[in-house]
């Protein structure tokens, strides 16, 4: 029994308990190591995931910016080839660039500086001289004859901070550039492109120029623009080679840094986009997760260990001890009835972990559904884009495709899949492909080009973009149908060169056509004829019938001009009522006169416009190349001068250019320029011719007559310069000068000749019509405010103003009457002398034309007409003024017939203000006057 007691006292379960503790310990160690391992893996996975996101976003940013650079390069290349910029000094160059700039919302300005950097051709107006010779982008374009990208700078035209692009302008047949086409891209566009991108909230994105200065940054920070990129501390060891790198910036935050080169010139100075993707939050989350798992594991191990030992104690160890004691008792011969089944039933099996497998299976199904949804979204995006995609192998074999419109496919898919692109394409499309593919295989840089194909008998234009698939030796070819876009571009170009109203070529087209025609004339030694056609009377049509009728007239004129010439000839609208006709061909000179006559006849024939019938004429000037001019501008100028000669001859005729016409035109241009100087330096003054009371012999009025003190030609009378004033459109300005001076001089005249003295001021019909739009002084109001007394200013108008009066003319005459201003009808009897004048208007004075006065009394017909006019004047209550009295016989004639007033050289010529004030008058008795003796007024 003692032996049995000792054996039982040594518990047989103690080694099992020790081994079980060691087993639990060894089970915990791998779990802890696993948690640490998976924590590190999660850390790395977060870094990898953020690196992939950074690469993806950087690639997206780079693709957008590269597309802009490539688009700008293509745009500048085409702009440099445009004929309109081949001469940067030409005015039409800036006009063309302004029109092109309106079609783009990316560029702030377009310009074409010459090879020496002088900028004259700019879309925006130049307010100062600009030279860009010192700009690196300009020098690279000129020296290397290639596309160049500038750096952070302040543009000298827009005064905005920008990055400029340039492309050399090399005319056909020349080796050296004459200049460079320049596009100005403001930094706002770069920054806006970063803001529109899918950049995370805490990320830092920059675009740097070739010098490493920041041109765009996200989040926006205007103070960093133009600063060195190194100030951000975002410099990695591998990022500059395209691989992500972990960098801690100056703000202390850890980021994944990626960089992509947008453009690199031959000097190895790249334009780059950089993205710093924040990692702190993600890595902190990973560390926190690992710590929580370790703590949970240790707590769980402690809990499980306690529960396991308790469970083992109750259900394993104690039953085993009981079983051991039972066996020992049975060996010792004890025969107790042991219930082994009851003790064994206390041991329970562990349940399976089927629930874990169910959770794992459900998680996998969820992941597969998310991946399928992502693929569907990508598919929907591709289907929404109007592009066709081809995946190509390294040697150009078509591996796969996706088309938004199968109508854009040259062949069915089964006929091109698995074949090389070079085996499918042909003609110029194949040449473009092979050229760009060869370049792509050299540098793996994106390529873009345009080509056309004939698909089912229809020409279709495409744009191709070739991009590298960096993860494999493959490429993607993206093709877009741009037929509609090209047609829109061609339509815009046509509209830019076509007159909107007449549908004839406009002035820009005319300039190009004349340049080409003159060049061809010199090369072929064939003469060229240019006609300048100006419409006589279009302004009257517009004033009388309105601009709608005038526009309709211009359309019909264009049709008749087309009908008057041959198909080899050219007609264009130059400006307003001016047209230009080019006669070409071997018989151009022989056809000149017949064509000009046909045009004159066509213009003289009435035009029916709606309910109106319009009658006009034309003045035609003709110049020959090379006889009259050898350059486009001089040829146009010669024909223009000849046309002005035709208009000066009364219009409705033809004039050929001669050297005399050239001299006359030079004088005309000189006088037109001098008129503006005359206004500026106050070279106009008034002379006054006295008007005498024929009963008393007193000076009661003076007619104001304009003179021009020309610094070279001396004192000029109106017949020598007034037609130039009219041509220069200065009738209102000159007329206002006359009125101001007359009102200013009037006070001195009243002091000298008495309170009733009056000054007559001429108001021409053309000046009256020009004031209809509110330009210049309001004469009735000005006279009322500045004349010394009511009625002291008399306004003289001629019959021409009343031949076909406009409502404005009649309203002006009424306003003179309302303001107390007297009106005189000048040169009565020399025009139409319609009695309707007196029915519709009231005149205070009636001036008898000098032709009647000079022929009376010798001519009985003249005397009879004068007597009739005097009688008409008396019956209408108007005072008659006889002009042109030069002999005593004339004076006696008008005195005896009761004429109230007279003027002429018998009394005095027109005098300056001071000379007029110094006139002395001799008062004579009525008997002396009746005797016909009126003393001459002496200066």
Determine the pLDDT at residue 926: 36
Q: Taking residues 686-700, what's their average pLDDT?
A: 94
Determine the pLDDT at residue 350: 38
Q: How confident is the model at residue 656 (pLDDT cuts 50, 70, 90)?
A: very high
User: Per-residue pLDDT tens for 80-104?
Assistant: 888 888 889 888 898 888 888 888 8
Q: Taking residues 648-666, what's their average pLDDT?
A: 84
Residues 6+ apart with CB under 8 A from 907: 690, 692, 885, 936, 937
Give the integer Cα–Cα distance in Å for 53 and 536: 74
**Element at 733 (helix H, strand E):** helix 731-753
Higher pLDDT, 650 or 43: 650
Determine the pLDDT at residue 269: 65
Q: How confident is the model at residue 602 (pLDDT cuts 50, 70, 90)?
A: very high
- Say how many residues make up the chain: 939
Give the integer Cα–Cα distance in Å for 936 and 514: 65
User: Per-residue pLDDT tens for 800-825?
Assistant: 666 666 777 778 888 888 888 899 88
Determine the pLDDT at residue 114: 93
> What is the three-class DSSP state of 321?
helix
Q: Which of 490-494, 600-604, 644-648, 846-850 has the lowest mean pLDDT?
A: 490-494
Determine the pLDDT at residue 34: 73
- What is the average pLDDT value for the chain, to the nearest integer? 80
Query: For residue 159, is pLDDT > 90?
Result: no
Determine the pLDDT at residue 295: 81
Q: Residue 556 to residues 132, 274, 613, 651: CA-CA distances in angstroms?
A: 49, 63, 12, 20
Give the integer Cα–Cα distance in Å for 465 and 449: 7
Residue environment code for 321-340, b if the CB has 16+ CB neighbours within 10 A, otherwise e: bbeebbeeeeeeeeeeebee
Determine the pLDDT at residue 222: 80
Look at the block and give the residue holding tokens 């030796």. 473
> Could you write out the DSSP letters of every residue in 523-576?
HHT--EEEEEEEEESHHHHHHHH-HHHHHHHHHHHHHHHHHHS-TTSEEEEEET
Take residue 436 and report the two structure tokens written for it: 């760009």
- What are the strands of the beta sheet with 458-469, ordered from one edge? 398-403, 387-393, 474-481, 458-469, 447-455
Determine the pLDDT at residue 528: 92
Q: Taking residues 670-679, what's their average pLDDT?
A: 87
Q: How confident is the model at residue 929 (pLDDT cuts 50, 70, 90)?
A: very low
Determine the pLDDT at residue 240: 53
Q: Taking residues 680-701, what's their average pLDDT?
A: 93
Determine the pLDDT at residue 464: 86
Q: Taking residues 703-727, what's their average pLDDT?
A: 88
Determine the pLDDT at residue 935: 40
Give the β-pairing of 654-656 and 617-625.
parallel
Q: Taking residues 827-842, what's their average pLDDT?
A: 62
Higher pLDDT, 636 or 371: 636
Give the integer Cα–Cα distance in Å for 646 and 632: 21
Percent pLDDT > 70 in the chain is 82
The answer to whether residues 8 and 325 touch, using CB atoms and an 8 Å cutoff, is: yes
User: Per-residue pLDDT tens for 230-241?
Assistant: 777 665 544 555
Take residue 679 and report the two structure tokens written for it: 């206004």
User: Per-residue pLDDT tens for 296-348?
Assistant: 777 877 777 777 667 766 666 666 666 566 556 655 555 444 444 454 444 54
Highest mean pLDDT among 53-57, 62-66, 882-886: 882-886
> Could you write out the DSSP letters of every residue in 891-905?
HHHHHHTT--EE-ST
Determine the pLDDT at residue 924: 33
Q: Which of 4-8, 534-538, 688-692, 775-779 has the lowest mean pLDDT?
A: 4-8
Higher pLDDT, 316 or 477: 477
Terminal alpha carbon distance of the chain = 179
> Could you write out the DSSP letters of every residue in 107-138?
-SEEEE-BTTSEE-EESSPPSS-EE-TT-HHH
User: Per-residue pLDDT tens for 222-270?
Assistant: 877 878 777 776 655 445 555 777 777 666 677 788 888 877 766 656 8
User: Per-residue pLDDT tens for 865-911?
Assistant: 888 888 888 888 889 999 999 999 999 999 999 999 999 999 999 99
Q: What residues are paired with 846 via a beta bridge?
A: 825, 880
Give the integer Cα–Cα distance in Å for 554 and 573: 10
Instruction: Provide the 8-state DSSP code for 440.
Output: H
Q: What residues are paired with 570 via a beta bridge?
A: 582
Q: Which of 151-155, 225-229, 365-369, 767-771 has the lowest mean pLDDT?
A: 767-771
Q: Taking residues 485-503, what's their average pLDDT?
A: 77
Instruction: Provide the 8-state DSSP code for 816.
Output: H
Higher pLDDT, 847 or 935: 847
Q: Taking residues 598-609, what's their average pLDDT?
A: 92
Residues 6+ apart with CB under 8 A from 450: 432, 461, 462, 463, 464, 482
Determine the pLDDT at residue 800: 66
Determine the pLDDT at residue 309: 67
Determine the pLDDT at residue 332: 57
Query: For residue 691, is pLDDT > 90?
Result: yes
User: Per-residue pLDDT tens for 744-790?
Assistant: 999 999 999 988 899 999 987 777 766 766 688 888 889 988 888 88
The answer to whether residues 255 and 239 touch, using CB atoms and an 8 Å cutoff, is: no
Determine the pLDDT at residue 353: 45
Half-sphere CA count of 246, side-chain side, radius 13 A:
10
Query: For residue 650, is pLDDT > 70?
Result: yes
Query: For residue 6, is pLDDT > 60?
Result: no
Q: Residue 304 to residues 2, 21, 296, 309: CA-CA distances in angstroms?
A: 39, 12, 12, 8
Q: Taking residues 622-633, what's their average pLDDT?
A: 90
Determine the pLDDT at residue 2: 45
Give the integer Cα–Cα distance in Å for 699 and 695: 11
Percent pLDDT > 90 in the chain is 22
Phi and psi for 161 in degrees, rounded to 5? -70, 135
Q: Taking residues 132-137, what's their average pLDDT?
A: 90
Asked if residue 857 has a cis previous peptide bond (ω within 30° of 0), the answer is: yes
């Amino acid at each position: 029994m003692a032996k049995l007691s000792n054996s039982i006292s040594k518990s047989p379960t103690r080694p099992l308990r020790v081994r079980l503790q060691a087993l639990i310990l060894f089970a915990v160690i791998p779990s802890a190591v696993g948690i640490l391992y998976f924590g590190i893996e999660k850390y790395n996975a977060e870094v990898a995931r953020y690196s992939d996101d950074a690469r993806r976003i950087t690639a997206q940013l780079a693709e957008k910016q590269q597309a802009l650079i490539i688009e700008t390069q293509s745009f500048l290349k085409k702009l440099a080839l445009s004929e309109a910029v081949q001469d940067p000094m030409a005015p039409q160059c800036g006009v063309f660039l302004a029109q092109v700039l309106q079609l783009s919302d990316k560029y702030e300005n377009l310009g074409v500086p010459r090879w020496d950097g002088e900028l004259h051709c700019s879309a925006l107006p130049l307010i100062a001289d600009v030279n860009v010779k010192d700009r690196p982008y300009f020098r690279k374009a000129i020296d290397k004859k290639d596309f160049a990208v500038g750096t952070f700078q302040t543009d000298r035209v827009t005064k905005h901070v920008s990055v400029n692009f340039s492309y050399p302008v090399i005319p056909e047949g020349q080796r050296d550039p004459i200049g460079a086409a320049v596009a100005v891209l403001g930094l706002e566009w770069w920054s806006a492109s970063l803001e529109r991108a899918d950049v995370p909230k805490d990320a830092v994105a920059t675009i740097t120029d070739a010098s490493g200065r920041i041109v765009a940054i996200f989040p926006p920070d205007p103070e960093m623009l133009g600063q060195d990129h190194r100030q951000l501390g975002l410099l990695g060891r591998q990022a500059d080679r395209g691989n992500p790198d972990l960098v801690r910036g100056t703000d202390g935050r850890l980021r994944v840094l990626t960089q992509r080169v947008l453009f690199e010139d031959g000097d190895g100075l790249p334009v780059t986009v950089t993205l710093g993707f924040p990692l702190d939050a993600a890595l902190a989350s990973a560390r926190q997760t690992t710590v929580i798992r370790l703590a949970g594991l240790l707590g769980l191990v402690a809990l499980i260990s306690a529960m396991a030992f308790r469970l083992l104690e109750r259900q394993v160890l104690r039953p085993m001890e009981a079983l051991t004691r039972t066996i020992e008792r049975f060996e010792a011969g004890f025969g107790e009835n042991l219930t082994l089944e009851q003790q064994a039933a206390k041991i329970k099996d562990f349940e399976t972990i089927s629930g874990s497998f169910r959770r794992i299976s459900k998680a996998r199904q969820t992941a597969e559904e998310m991946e399928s949804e992502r693929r569907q979204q990508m598919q929907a995006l591709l289907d929404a884009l109007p592009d066709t995609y081809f995946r190509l192998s390294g040697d150009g074999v078509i591996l796969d495709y996706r088309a938004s419109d199968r109508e854009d496919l040259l062949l069915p898919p089964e006929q091109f899949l698995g074949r090389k692109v070079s085996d499918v394409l042909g003609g110029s499309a194949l040449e473009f492909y092979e050229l760009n593919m060869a370049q792509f295989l050299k540098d793996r840089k994106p390529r873009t080009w345009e080509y056309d194909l004939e698909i089912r008998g229809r020409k279709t234009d495409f744009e191709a973009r070739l991009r590298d698939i960096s993860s494999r030796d493959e490429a993607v070819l993206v093709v877009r149908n741009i037929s509609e876009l090209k047609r829109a571009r061609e339509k815009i170009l046509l509209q830019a060169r076509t007159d909107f109203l007449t549908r004839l070529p406009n002035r820009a087209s005319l300039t190009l056509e004349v340049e080409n025609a003159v060049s061809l004339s010199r090369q072929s030694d064939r003469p060229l004829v240019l006609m300048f056609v100006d419409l006589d009377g279009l302004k009257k049509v517009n004033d009388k019938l309105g601009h709608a009728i005038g526009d309709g007239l211009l359309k019909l004129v264009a049709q008749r001009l087309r009908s008057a010439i041959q198909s080899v000839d050219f007609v264009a609208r130059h400006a307003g009522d001016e047209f230009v006709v080019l006669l070409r061909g071997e018989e151009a000179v022989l056809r000149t006169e017949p064509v000009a006559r046909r045009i004159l006849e066509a213009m003289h024939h009435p035009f029916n416009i709606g309910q109106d019938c319009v009658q006009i004429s034309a003045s035609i000037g003709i110049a020959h190349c090379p006889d009259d001019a050898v350059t486009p501008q001089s040829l146009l100028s010669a024909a223009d001068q000849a046309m002005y000669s035709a208009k000066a001859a009364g219009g409705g005729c033809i004039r050929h250019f001669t050297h005399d016409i050239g001299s006359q035109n030079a004088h005309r241009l000189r006088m037109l320029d001098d008129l503006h100087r005359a206004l500026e330096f106050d070279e106009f003054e008034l002379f006054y011719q006295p008007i005498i009371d024929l009963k008393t012999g007193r000076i009661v009025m003076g007619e104001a007559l304009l003179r021009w003190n020309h610094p070279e030609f001396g004192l000029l009378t109106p017949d020598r310069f007034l037609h130039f004033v009219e041509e220069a459109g200065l009738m209102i300005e000159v007329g206002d000068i006359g009125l101001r001076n007359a009102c200013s001089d009037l006070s001195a005249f009243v002091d000298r000749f008495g309170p009733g003295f009056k000054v007559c001021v001429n108001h021409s019909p053309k000046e009256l019509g020009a004031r209809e739009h509110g330009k210049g002084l309001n004469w009735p109001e000005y006279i009322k405010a500045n004349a010394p007394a009511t009625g002291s200013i008399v306004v003289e108008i001629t019959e021409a103003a009343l031949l076909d009066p406009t409502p404005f003319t009649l309203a002006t005459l009424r306003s003179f009457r309302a303001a107390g201003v007297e009106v005189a009808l000048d040169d009565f009897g020399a025009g139409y002398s319609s009695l309707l004048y007196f029915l519709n208007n009231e005149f205070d004075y009636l001036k008898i034309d000098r032709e009647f006065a000079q022929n009376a009394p010798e001519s009985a017909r003249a005397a009879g007409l004068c007597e009739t006019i005097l009688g008409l004047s008396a019956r209408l209550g108007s005072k008659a003024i006889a002009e042109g009295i030069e002999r005593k016989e004339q004076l006696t004639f008008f005195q005896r017939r009761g004429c109230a007033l007279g003027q002429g050289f018998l009394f005095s010529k027109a005098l300056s203000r001071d000379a007029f004030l110094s006139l002395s008058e001799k008062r004579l008795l009525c008997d002396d006057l009746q005797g016909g003796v009126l003393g001459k007024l002496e200066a």
